[in-house]
Structure 1
Amino acid sequence: MKKSLVIAAAVAATFASASYAQSSVTLYGVVDAGFTYTTNIGGKADYAMTSGNVQASRWGLRGVEDLGGGLKAIFTLESGFDVMNGRQNGSLFNRQSYVGLSQAQYGTVTFGRQFDSVVDYVGPLTAVGTWGGTYMAHVLDNDNGNATFSLNNAVKYTSGNLSGFQFGGAYAFSNQAGGFANNRAYSAGMSYNYGGLRLGAAYLQAQGLDRGNAGGAIVGAPLVGAINDTYRQRTWGAGASYAYGPMVGGVVFTQSRLSASNNAARFNNIEANVRYNLTPALAIGGMYTYTNALGNAIDSGTGSRSAHWNQFGLQADYALSKRTDVYLEGVGVWGAGQNAVGLTEVGYTSDGGISSSKNQGIVSTGIRHRF
C-alpha cells in the first residue's frame, strides 16, 4: 500500500513538473538615459538629462503557455517610463497590453492595446524603427513610425511565416454605444524576406477622432487636433532594405493625410538610411528624410499653404556587451516654407519643444541597457 502511494506521488510530481515547464513568464525591458543638447527652443539652447534617446525606456512581462498540438496562449504587458524621474508615461501598460492564441502554421490572434500595421511592417525599414531611435522620427512622427501611439480595444491577426511572406491586420473598436465609428481604427500590412532583402507595406485609417470619445481606439495621437475638427487620419507606407555583409541600407516612403469638415493636410516622407558595422562592437549609421506638408483652407480660410523639411541624422554606437551599449548621435532639421518648423500652416500647437525657428539641431549621448 505504501509502495503504491509513493509511486502515485512520484507520477503526479512528474506530470506537475512537465506542466510547469511548458509555461513561462519573462521580465524584459530597456533602460536608455543620457545627455541631450537642443537648439532653438524659445530662442535658446537647452541642455538636459533625457530618457529614451535611442529607444523609449520600458519594462514588460511576456508569457507563454503550451496548450498542446502546437497551440500556445500568449500575453504581453509593457509600460514606458522616464528614467530621469521614474514616472510612467501615461497609463500603467501604455505601450502594449494584450492576450491571445498563437500557432506557428495558422498565425496569431490577440486582443487588447497593440501597435498598428505601419509600426509592424514599415517601421522596421526606417532608421527610427531599428537603430536610429527617437530623434530620427519623421517630422512630428506624422506616420507613427516611432510608435507614438498604440491602438486600444484592438483585435489583431498576424499570419505565420509563409516562405518569407507574412501579413496581418488589426481592427480597433470605438467601444461606444450608438457610436460605432466614433474613434475607431483599422490597419493592414505585409512583409517579405528573402536572404538579405526585406520588403514591407502597410495602411492605417482612424475615423471619428473629433467625436470626443476618450475610450476609443486612439487617445493622444500626435496629429489629432492638428487641424480643427479632425475626423479622419490615413497613413500608408512602403519600403525596402537590403543587408550585405556588415552593411544594411533601406529606403521608405510614407504619407499621412488628415481630413476635417473644412480643412485638410498631407505629409509626404521619403527616407534613405544606412548602417555599417566597422567592427563587431562598433557601428555607424546615417539617415536622410525629406518631408513636405500641404495644407488646404487652413487658418480660417487662408487657402493652400505648404512647407518642407530636410532632416539628417548620424549615429555611432559601441557595444560594451550583448546587452549594454553607449552611443553618440546628432540630428539636424532644416525647414522652408510658411513657418515650416512651427507648423502653424496646419494649426499645430507645440508643447514648447518644437523649434522657435525653421531649423533645429540635437546632439545626444548616453548609455542603453537591455534586460
Structure 2
Amino acid sequence: MRKPIALAIAGLAGLAGLALPPAHAQSSVTLYGIVDTGVTRIDDAGAGGGNTLLRSGNLLTSRFGFRGTEDLGGGLKALFNLEAGLNVDTGATSTPYFNRQSWVGLSSESFGNVWMGRMLPIISDIFISSQQAPYLGNTAAAIDGAAIGAGSSVARFNNMTQTRIDNAIKYQGPSLAGFKVHAMTALGEVAGSSSAGRILSLGGSYNSESIEAGLAYHEKQCTDAGGCAAGKDKDKIFGVGGSYKFNGNRIGVVYTSQKNALNVAGNDADVFDLLVRVPLGQVVLGAGYQYLNDKTSLNQDTSQVNLAATYVLSKRTQLYALYSHQSVKNGGKAGMYSVTSSKDKQNQFSAGIVHMF
C-alpha cells in the first residue's frame, strides 16, 4: 500500500506546484519520551506543615520529542531534535512548547558535530549527560542549580541542571583516543550591543571503558547594553570532575566554582558533589552527598543527602523510591522542588513509576 500512496501524494504535490524533498533510504524520524510520575511527601512546605503531592518528573523529567537524522553520504549526517517538557499529573506541556531542546545541525565522522538552536550548555553535557551525575540519587532535588527553593538565599544556577541556552551554536569534536573538545557560544541579541548577554562555554572530556572525566568553563556577559551596571558582573563558572566505573558500579566526584551568579557581583559559591551507583540485579541503588559553600556575606552553606532505589521491571519501565534531606546554616531556608521550607531543614520522599519510550 505504501508505494501507491506515495505516488498519489507526489502527484497531488506536482499538481499543486509544490516541491517535495527528495527521498532518502537513510532518513529517519523517531518519537521518544519519558513518562514519570509518583507521590511526593514534603515535610515542610513553607507554612510549618507538610504537603503530599502527585508530581511529575521525580526521578527523570517527563518529556517527549522528535529526533531525526539523514545520511548525506561521506560520513556526513543532518540532525535535528525537538523536545518538550510534560507534566504528567496535569497534562500540561511546557511553555514555550519545545523548551527543553530545539536544534538542527550536522554530524561528521571526521570533523565532529555542530548544532544551532536551544540546548544545554557544555558544563551540563560533560557532567550530566556524560558522567550520569543524575545518579546523585534524586535528580529533582539536586543542590546544584534550579531545584533549590526560589526563596532560599543560597540559590545558585551553575548550569549543571535544567538551564537551557537560547540562540546557541555548539561544537563537539570527534573522539581522539577518548578525548573530545567542546565549545559553545550564544548570541545575547540585545539591541545596541553585540556582546551584552553573550555566552561562551569551553570544555574537554575523556571517556574510556572505566573512566569518564572532564573540565568546563562557562561565562555569561551582563545583559545591559552599556556594560555591567553597578552591582553586576560577568557570571563565571568553572567545573571539573570524573567518575570510575567497574562491574556496573559508578563512583564520581564533581566540583564547580561560580562567581557572580546570575550576574550579581559577589554572588559566589562552590558546589561539591559525590555520587555512587550500585546495581544489584533488578535493584539499582544510588546515593549522593552535595555541599554548597556560600561565599557571600550571608555564609549560608548548604548540605544535602540524596538516596534512591529503583526496581527494573523491564528495559523501559522502573519503579523508584527517593529520599532527600537538606540543611542550611546561618538562618537560611531549605528548599527543594522549588518549595521553600519555613525552617533551615527539609525532607522529602517520593515513590513512583517511570516509563521510557
Task: Please classify the TM superposition score into its range, dividing by the shorter chain length.
Answer: 0.7 to 0.9
Deviations 1:123-181 (A, max 9, x none): 243643776421234263632222x2211111110111111001111100012332222
Q: 1:307: how far off?
A: 1.3
CA distance in 1, matches of 2:144, 2:75: 40
> Structure 2 vs 1, CA of residues 89 and 339 (structure 1 numbering), >3 Å: closer, same or farther?
same
Task: Give 1:162's aligned residue.
Answer: 176
> Structure 2 vs 1, CA of residues 24 and 352 (structure 1 numbering), >3 Å: closer, same or farther?
closer
Moved over 6 A (4+): 259-262
> Structure 2 vs 1, CA of residues 313 and 122 (structure 1 numbering), >3 Å: closer, same or farther?
same
Of 102, 112, 115, 2:120 maps to 115
Task: Give 2:13's aligned residue.
Answer: none
Of 354, 359, 363, 2:340 maps to 354
Q: Which amino acid aligns with 1:203?
A: Y
Q: Which TM-score applies when normalising by structure 1?
A: 0.81
CA distance in 1, matches of 2:338, 2:333: 16
Deviations 1:317-341 (A, max 9, x none): 0111100101001000011124253
**Structure with bigger RCO (C-alpha 8 Å, 6+ apart):** 2
> Structure 2 vs 1, CA of residues 260 and 290 (structure 1 numbering), >3 Å: closer, same or farther?
closer
Asked if the contact 1:210/1:230 (under 8 Å) is kept, the reply is no
Of 143, 164, 179, 2:158 maps to 143
Asked if the contact 1:125/1:252 (under 8 Å) is kept, the reply is no
Unaligned ranges ≥5, structure 2: 1-6, 8-21, 149-155
Of 258, 263, 266, 1:264 maps to 266
> Structure 2 vs 1, CA of residues 183 and 262 (structure 1 numbering), >3 Å: closer, same or farther?
closer
Task: Give 2:221's aligned residue.
Answer: 207
Of 204, 212, 232, 1:198 maps to 212
Task: Give 2:241's aligned residue.
Answer: 239
Deviations 1:17-40 (A, max 9, x none): x95321000111111100100122
> Structure 2 vs 1, CA of residues 39 and 211 (structure 1 numbering), >3 Å: closer, same or farther?
farther
Q: Which TM-score applies when normalising by structure 2?
A: 0.84
Note the aligned Cα RMSD (angstroms). 2.6
Structure 2 residue 356 is matched with structure 1 residue 370:
yes
Number of paired residues?
324
> Structure 2 vs 1, CA of residues 167 and 130 (structure 1 numbering), >3 Å: closer, same or farther?
farther
Q: Which amino acid aligns with 1:23?
A: S
Identity of paired residues, percent? 34
CA distance in 1, matches of 2:100, 2:66: 12
CA distance in 1, matches of 2:107, 2:135: 24
